[in-house]
């Protein structure tokens, strides 16, 4: 609803409505963890949403979450990555799923919003414009989010290991043509969290 309202009142800000959905999706996973939502409920819900987004991408039924000025499958990739992580890691490794999804949700989401507002040097990788402002925003957001998650979950990851995961997230986000970073960042961060967990 917020994305649709944003698209209506700020029609020129096509990316903004997508970022509202992008950022707003992330907290659903920690909430599901806190409520102990079982996999037999979480996975079908995520899969249904993924299929619905695929249909919407083709038919543009709700343009507020798809209309951007570039070819992107990011929304579908994001939903698919969540479904993938739920299938393979939920609920035994729920903190890993949270790490991956929140890195994408908050890290990439705020990088897209803040990076465009900052007049910093930029570069192009695979036709995707990246900037120092956006990249630093993502790095700082992901690192802070991982520290909070480590403290809340009781996972004993050293700050240097959290920095490694942060750099992994930033690196994967840099090489994300057509929005595939929405797939690689959540999965990469989730498994980085899992593998580095002592």
Q: For residue 163, give both structure tokens.
A: 């920095």
Examine residue 106 and state whether it is found in any structural domain, yes or no: yes
Identify whether 35 is part of a domain.
Answer: yes
Q: Other CB atoms closer than 10 Å to residue 35's CB: what's the count? A: 8
Q: How confident is the model at residue 18 (pLDDT cuts 50, 70, 90)?
A: low
- Which of 52-56, 136-140, 193-197 ranks highest by mean pLDDT? 136-140
pTM of the model: 0.86
Asked if residue 90 belongs to a domain, the reply is yes
Which residue range is the domain that position 98 belongs to? 15-196
Residues in the chain: 198
Contacts of 77 (CB under 8 A, 6+ apart): 179, 180, 181, 182, 183
pLDDT for the residue numbered 198: 61
Comparison of pLDDT for 122 and 11, the residue scoring more: 122
Does 55 fall in a domain?
A: yes
Q: What is the number of structural domains in the chain?
A: 1
pLDDT band at 51 (very low <50, low <70, confident <90, very high): very high
Name the residue with higher pLDDT: 165 or 16. 165
Q: Is the pLDDT score of 7 beyond 50?
A: no
Within-domain flag for 1: no
d(CA 150, CA 148): 5
| Alpha-carbon gap, residue 181 to 77, rounded angstroms | 8
Q: Does any domain span residue 74?
A: yes
Would 4 be classed as within a structural domain?
A: no
- Give the orientation angle of helix 94-102 with respect to helix 132-153, to 10 degrees: 160
Residue 7 lies in a domain: no
What is the C-alpha separation between 165 and 178, in angstroms, rounded? Answer: 23
> 174 CB contacts (<8 Å, ≥6 apart)?
125, 130, 135, 181
Q: What percent of the chain has pLDDT over 90?
A: 58
The answer to whether residues 130 and 142 touch, using CB atoms and an 8 Å cutoff, is no
Average confidence (pLDDT) over 178-190? 94
CA angle 9, 76, 21 (to 5 degrees): 30
């Amino acid at each position: 609803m917020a994305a649709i309202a944003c698209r209506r009142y700020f029609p020129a800000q096509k990316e903004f409505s997508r970022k509202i959905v992008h950022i707003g999706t992330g907290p659903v996973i920690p909430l599901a963890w806190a409520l102990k939502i079982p996999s037999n409920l979480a996975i079908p819900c995520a899969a249904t949403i993924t299929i619905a987004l695929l249909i919407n991408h083709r038919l543009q039924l709700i343009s507020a979450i798809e209309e951007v000025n570039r070819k992107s499958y990011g929304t579908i990739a994001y939903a698919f990555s969540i479904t993938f992580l739920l299938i393979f890691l939920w609920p035994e490794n729920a903190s890993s799923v949270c790490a991956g999804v929140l890195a994408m949700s908050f890290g990439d989401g705020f990088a897209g919003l803040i990076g465009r507002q900052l007049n910093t040097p930029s570069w192009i990788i695979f036709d995707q414009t990246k900037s120092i402002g956006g990249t630093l925003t993502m790095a700082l957001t992901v690192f802070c989010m991982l520290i909070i998650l480590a403290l809340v979950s009781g996972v004993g990851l050293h700050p240097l290991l959290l920095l490694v995961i942060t750099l992994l997230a930033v690196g994967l986000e840099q090489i994300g043509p057509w929005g595939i970073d929405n797939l690689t960042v959540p999965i990469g961060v989730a498994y980085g969290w899992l593998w580095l967990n002592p």
